[in-house]
Amino acid sequence: MPKVCFAPIWYPLEEYATSRLRAKSVAELLRQDTPWEVELSYSDDADISVIVQLCSDRNLEAICTNRDQMVVYDICDRFFASDSLFRTDEGVLHARSRCLEVIDRADVLIVPTLRLKAELNSQFPAKPCFHVPELVDYGAMPSPARPADSRRLVWFGHTTRGNFESVRWMIDHLVAAHGYQPVLVTNPATMQRRYPSYAGFCKAWSLDSVRSELATASLCVVSHSPSEPFKSPNRFATAMTQGVPTLASGSPACDDILQAAGYGQMSVSTTLDVKRALEFLADPGRRSSYVTDVQAEIWRRHSPETVRRAYLDLFEKMLPDRDTY
């Protein structure tokens, strides 16, 4: 039986979206009715190792020593162009240096968005690169549209890398002009330090708190910084799958889904766009259709079977002949 191992760098796995979505959840999925033995940590005897996001010193040494092992490098951030420093149990890690070391060793690169794939094809043309979509997060399954019976507005995620800075204009406008009550599911201490005027709206992040807030919200907002055009649509996909009508801003990956489903107007960049989107969603029939139609497009791209097939197709291409792509 062939064996694959997934080696994330951030622990606890449940508390980091990349570790959760690109390692733990995929390993659990592939353990169900597949011909692969799957391990959720680095294993020397695996035929294929999947290095997720970054790589520890220990695992880098292992994959560089074990030259018979096929290595997939899962790149979900532009760390190959970043001077960010990360503290790990082994010391400080410089993002770009480590990312480039793993790219050099890898046999194959995988990415969660087509735009990131295009950039990697341009930057590293000698490395085969494949688009492998993410599962919908938080175990969300398609649910009916949440009714517009409240003004409860939810945003969830990290405040860093423009996630919150880029969405503030939407939150402020929805509060001031449309009477929404925001709930910001994130790290309250970080919010207090970075954006103290919003700290009173915070609820501490956890898997359960995200699920419970989405279950009672009537609207969700998602935004990405202009410097992060390659990010995946995972928060948008999660909120919409749970039935919460969601407005997206500055996210090409969300725009792709909205355009394909026929709802490009839900990608907003001005307060007038927001006003028009809310007027559209005020009609119960249109609100329901929006959620149902976009869910269908999300499921076509991100369902468990779609993701499972993408990984299995990749692994089947890699073994037994590493020259076959």
What mean pLDDT is reported for the chain?
94
> What is the average pLDDT across 162-174?
95
Among 212, 8, 53, 237, which residue's Cα sits nearest to residue 135? 237
Bridge partners, 267 (sequence order): 248
Q: Kindly state which CATH superfamily the domain 138-302 is placed in.
A: Glycogen Phosphorylase B; (3.40.50.2000)
Instruction: Find, among 156, 133, 112, the residue nearest to 246 by Cα.
Output: 156
Mean pLDDT for the stretch of residues 139-162 = 93
Do 3-134+304-318 and 138-302 fold alike per CATH?
yes
Average pLDDT over residues 108-130: 96
Residue 1 or 259, more confident: 259
Q: How much is the pLDDT for 320?
A: 66
**pLDDT at 323 (0 to 100):** 45
- List helix spans (H) across the chain: 17-19, 25-30, 57-65, 95-105, 114-123, 168-178, 188-194, 207-216, 234-241, 252-261, 271-281, 284-302, 304-318
Q: Average pLDDT in the 283-293 region? A: 98
Q: What are phi and psi of 51, to 5 degrees?
A: -90, 120
Edge-first strand order for the sheet with 152-156 is 202-204, 181-186, 152-156, 219-223, 246-249
According to CATH, what is the number of the domain 3-134+304-318?
3.40.50
Query: Are the CB atoms for 63 and 51 separated by under 8 Å?
Result: yes
The model's confidence at residue 324, banded by pLDDT at 50, 70 and 90, is very low
pLDDT of residue 321: 55
Percent of the chain whose predicted confidence (pLDDT) is above 70? 98
For the chain, report the end-to-end CA distance as a whole number of angstroms.
21
CA distance 113 to 131: 6
Domain definitions of the chain by residue range: 3-134+304-318, 138-302
Average pLDDT in the 268-272 region?
97
pLDDT-derived band at 252 (thresholds 50, 70, 90) equals very high
Q: What is the pTM of this model?
A: 0.93
Confidence grade of residue 322 (pLDDT, cut at 50, 70, 90): very low
Average pLDDT, integer, range 97-108: 97
3-state DSSP percent of the chain in helix, strand and coil, to 5: 50, 20, 35
Taking only the tens place, the pLDDT of each residue in 62-79 is 999 999 999 999 999 889
For residues 30-47, give the mean pLDDT.
94
pLDDT band at 283 (very low <50, low <70, confident <90, very high): very high
CA distance 155 to 149: 18
